[in-house]
């Protein structure tokens, strides 16, 4: 039982935008996806979550291809936080979080839904703003609210199978403390039996919170392993075109990446 990506490829016109990629997202782990701009990270995420049809290969959610899942059943297992969401209507923060409960039996109207939504808002430090209109929030607050919506969606484990949380740059608009808060919660979600796949740009965040890191370059999976094996100066120089030093810092888990050389425009 896992989210299994089997040799998928995504073609745009005559060019291959992604693949072939095979990987398995296992319950209990946080998998970070890193890579330079345009490497296909978001494409991979869209293909993995079923938004984008794969030209070749297939994705199995708990052993079943996406098309075979009833829409609501799928939504109880798989939650996706897109890179950006454009919600231009004035729902309150709590109402947005409650929308995440709609795949559930009570459709967002029950006491359990209220509890899940408030719990999710707590987790991302948004509960104190629960009554604010979404349209009045800052970019980071909106991102946290959307994350709370997805967390509320996956708040309780389904009767059978696991929960999968896919995050596309979940920290892109967040301040330092909230970046760590959000990834800490993602880690906790994984420890409670869920699985997390997150596109991240900050290699140090990936090093600290991910169990495995997938490195994408030009649509291909270059490396997929534990942070200590992936974050090597030679690999980073090759993929990102930047000289770095990788050091250990006593009080911080995981390797630490420090840029040391000048960036070249293209690797």
> Applying CB under 8 A, which residues contact another protein?
49, 51, 71-76, 78-80, 82, 85-96, 98-100, 102-103, 107, 118, 125, 127-128, 130-131, 135, 149, 153, 175, 177-178, 180-181, 183-184, 251
Closest CA to 152 of 126, 121, 125, 183: 121
In this complex, which beta carbon is closest to another protein, that of residue 67 or of residue 234?
Answer: 67
Q: Which residue has the tokens 């490396």?
A: 223
DSSP state of 140: H
- CB-wise, 178 or 212, nearer to another protein? 178
CB of 92 to another protein, least distance (A): 5
Three-class SS state of 12: strand
| Integer Cα distance of 192 and 137 in angstroms | 30
Closest approach, Cβ 125 to another protein, in A, equals: 6
Nearest to another protein of 46, 240 (CB atom): 46
Cβ distance 154 to 185 under 8 Å? no
Q: What secondary structure letter does DSSP report for 115? A: H
Residue for token digits 């740009």?
A: 201
In the DSSP assignment, the letter for residue 64 is E
Question: Nearer Cβ to another protein, position 121 or 217?
Answer: 121
* Cβ 6 to another protein shortest distance, Å: 21
Minimum CB distance to another protein, residue 217 (Å): 26
């Amino acid at each position: 039982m896992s989210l299994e990506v089997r040799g998928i490829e995504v073609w745009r016109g005559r060019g291959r935008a992604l693949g072939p990629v095979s990987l398995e997202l296992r319950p209990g782990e946080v998998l970070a996806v890193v890579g330079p701009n345009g490497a296909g990270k978001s494409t991979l995420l869209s293909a993995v979550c079923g938004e984008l049809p794969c030209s070749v290969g297939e994705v199995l959610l708990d052993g079943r291809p996406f098309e075979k899942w009833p829409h609501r059943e799928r939504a109880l297992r798989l939650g996706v936080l897109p890179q950006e969401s454009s919600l231009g209507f004035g729902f309150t923060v709590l109402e947005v979080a409650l929308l995440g409960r709609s795949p559930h039996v009570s459709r967002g109207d029950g006491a359990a839904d209220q509890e899940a939504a408030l719990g999710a808002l707590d987790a991302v430090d948004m509960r104190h703003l629960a009554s604010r209109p979404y349209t009045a929030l800052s970019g980071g607050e909106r991102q946290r609210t959307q994350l709370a919506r997805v967390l509320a969606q996956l708040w309780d484990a389904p009767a059978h199978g696991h929960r999968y949380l896919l995050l596309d740059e979940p920290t892109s608009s967040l301040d330092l403390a909230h970046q760590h808060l959000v990834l800490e919660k993602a880690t906790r979600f994984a420890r409670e039996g869920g699985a997390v796949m997150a596109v991240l740009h900050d290699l140090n965040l990936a090093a600290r919170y991910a169990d495995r890191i997938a490195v994408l370059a030009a649509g291909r999976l270059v490396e997929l392993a534990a942070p200590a094996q992936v974050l090597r100066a030679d690999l980073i120089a090759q993929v990102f075109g930047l000289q770095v030093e990788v050091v250990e810092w006593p009080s911080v888990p995981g390797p630490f990446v420090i840029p040391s050389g000048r960036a070249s425009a293209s690797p």
